[in-house]
Each structure stands twice: as C-alpha cells, then as structure tokens.
Amino acid sequence: MDNKYSLLKDKTVLYAEDDLKLQLEVEEMLNNFFKKVFIASDGDEALDIFIENQNKIDLIITDITMPNTDGMALSEYIRNYDKNLPIVIMSAYTNTDYLLHSIDLNILTYITKPFTTKKVFLLLDKLLDFFNLNNQYILKENIIFNSEVGSIKVEEQIISLTTKEVNFIKLLIENNIVTYTMMYEHLWDYDKEVTSNAVKSFIKKIKKKIPIELFKNKQGVGYYLDK
C-alpha cells in the first residue's frame, strides 16, 4: 500500500449496502485503509449507527437502492446533523436525477458499481484532498511530516522546521540517498561557498531538534531515511 494512504488509517467509515456478498467484499477492501468500518444493511440501520457514533465517523459510503431508507434519504437525514461530513454514493447505474440531487446534498463523489481497485484509489486520492493530507508524509510509525506547514509531528509533539530543514526532509523522501552534492545544490545558495563544516553544523542542529533518529549517514556519500 502506498505510504500516503496510511494517513487515512485514523479515519472511521460507515458503509451501508444491502447486497451481502458485495458488502463483504467492499468491507474487506475498506479495512485495508481505514481504522474502523461500521457496516449497515439498510438505511435505517445506517442512521441508527450514525446517531450512536457520529462523533467517531469520518466518512459515509452508501448504496442508493436499499430497503426501508435508501441512500439519498439517508444522506438527507445525515445532512440534518452534519453539513460537511464526506458522503460517497454508490450505484449500479447512473441516474441524472440522482446526480443532480447529490449536488444539492454536497455529496463528495458518486461511484458506479462495480467498486474496482482503480475506483478505490481514485476515492482514496479524493479523500486525501478532502482531509488536507496531500502534503503530509508518514516518515516512520507515529512520525508525520507536513511539508506545507513546515513541521514534524512526533506522536503528539509538533516540531516546527526551518525552510532549509523542510527542503532537506523533502530530499530524503524523494531520493534513496541525499548526496552531499545534492545538499549543496538544494539547500544553499549557489553564490555562497559551502564547507563540510556547514553541512555538519546543519545536521547536528536538525538532529538535536528532532527527538528520534530520522535519518542515517552513509559515510562519504550522504544521508538516507531510517525507515
């Protein structure tokens, strides 16, 4: 699984589907990407689960055609409680009226069945965007780098980084090894002469700032992420 999708592992999903065979298949798929998946076999059950767990649920995925309360009616009820919770509608066919109604209900996206692997990843990418996770990277367990904000989160501690430190960590993410030449080119101005002491001082400061061993040195070559 792509490392970036691990950022969704703290999210909880409510999935409503009356086709039990499909329900099991999609549930298994969703469990690979999310912390918890609540399952409902119709709209009434889904609404009960939502009301009981609304402070825990981060995403709704629902079929349109279900007994009792259908997916659109379920979405309308949920909008009475939460105007912004992402809702994903699934259907075996495309219906223009449903699509127009989904716009009124602020539906995140509309997916036609079958729920293929390609559609799963398209949805995951959309969720990364919705939750503003596109600029975050999991460096190690419980270590999250936010390139946009310029910080590293170590468990619950937020560590602010300088522009040079942010660029260095970006280089570590994008390359198997960051050579000294790459550091000279990307972290310092071309018109300034860079000494080995300047690099050593920079590395010493960032290691002192971050309370875990984030990267290692390959002697005579450069640095690499300690995954």
Higher pLDDT, 195 or 121: 121
3 state SS of 16? strand
Q: What are the extents of the domains in the chain?
A: 3-130, 136-225
Query: Percent of the chain having pLDDT more than 70?
Result: 92
Q: How far is CA 135 from CA 90, 146, 212, in A?
A: 28, 6, 21
The predicted structure's pLDDT at residue 147: 92
CB 137 within 8 A of CB 166: no
Q: What is the pTM of this model?
A: 0.75
CB 175 within 8 A of CB 162: no
Report the distance separating Cα 197 and Cα 21, nearest Å. 63
Q: How far apart are the first and last CA of the chain?
A: 15
pLDDT-derived band at 37 (thresholds 50, 70, 90) equals very high
The answer to whether domain 136-225 has CATH 1.10.3210.10 is no
Beta-carbon contacts of residue 30 (< 8 Å; ≥ 6 apart): 13, 15, 37, 61
Stretch 75-102: mean pLDDT? 81
Q: How far is CA 58 from CA 35, 69, 141, 171, in A?
A: 10, 21, 22, 32
Stretch 12-27: mean pLDDT? 95
Query: Nearest-CA neighbor of 98 among 64, 60, 63?
Result: 64
Stretch 127-131: mean pLDDT? 94
Q: Hey, which CATH number is domain 3-130, 3.30.390.50, 3.30.930.10, 3.40.50.2300, 3.30.70.120?
A: 3.40.50.2300
CB 93 within 8 A of CB 78: no
